[in-house]
């Protein structure tokens, strides 16, 4: 005599479909979360950067992918403003070197909680829209 056991999990198909939806949306949601997080840093940094014309501050932008984000500055002097060093003819213009930077790294540290909250909120919205929460 053989015994037969049948097991049905209600909602398994719906959960699998929701996970597939979430996996399909993750690159877009991840990029959006990374971009919003870096925009928080940029808004913290912009008022602190010294300016003559505003070109350096205006050159700050983000580059994002689904899993990472980078803040870029098209103005070549931003690295010197942030970290310091010697520039110019015969390296005559000297700005004290700071290994941790003056603007970007302190900006990330100052906005860390807001960055984490923004990314968690976007991921929770994505899970909710996929039907997981």
d(CA 68, CA 55): 26
Using the predicted structure, report yes or no on whether residue 8 has a pLDDT greater than 50: no
pLDDT for the residue numbered 2: 43
List C-alpha distances in Å: 49 to 7, 25, 87, 111, 113: 63, 36, 18, 16, 22
Where residue 15 falls among pLDDT bands split at 50, 70, 90? Answer: low
Average pLDDT, integer, range 48-57: 93
Using the predicted structure, report yes or no on whether residue 92 has a pLDDT greater than 90: yes
Domain boundaries, the chain: 13-72+103-130
Of residues 52 and 22, which shows the higher confidence score? 52
Using the predicted structure, report yes or no on whether residue 7 has a pLDDT greater than 50: no
Q: Which of 38, 41, 44, 45 lies closest to 62, judged by CA?
A: 38
Contact predicate 34/65, CB 8 Å: yes
d(CA 34, CA 69): 6
Contact predicate 127/22, CB 8 Å: yes
d(CA 9, CA 112): 41
């Amino acid at each position: 005599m053989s015994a037969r056991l049948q097991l049905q999990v209600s909602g398994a198909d719906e959960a699998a479909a929701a996970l597939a939806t979430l996996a399909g949306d993750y690159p877009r949601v991840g990029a959006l979360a990374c971009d919003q997080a870096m925009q928080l840093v940029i808004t913290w940094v912009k008022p602190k950067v010294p300016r003559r014309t505003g070109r350096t501050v205006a050159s700050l932008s983000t580059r994002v992918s689904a899993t990472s984000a980078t803040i870029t500055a098209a103005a070549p002097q931003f690295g010197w403003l942030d970290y310091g060093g010697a520039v110019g003819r015969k390296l005559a213009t000297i700005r004290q070197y700071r290994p941790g930077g003056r603007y970007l790294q302190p900006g990330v540290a100052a906005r860390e909680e807001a960055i984490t909250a923004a990314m968690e909120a976007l991921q929770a919205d994505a899970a909710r829209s996929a039907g997981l929460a």
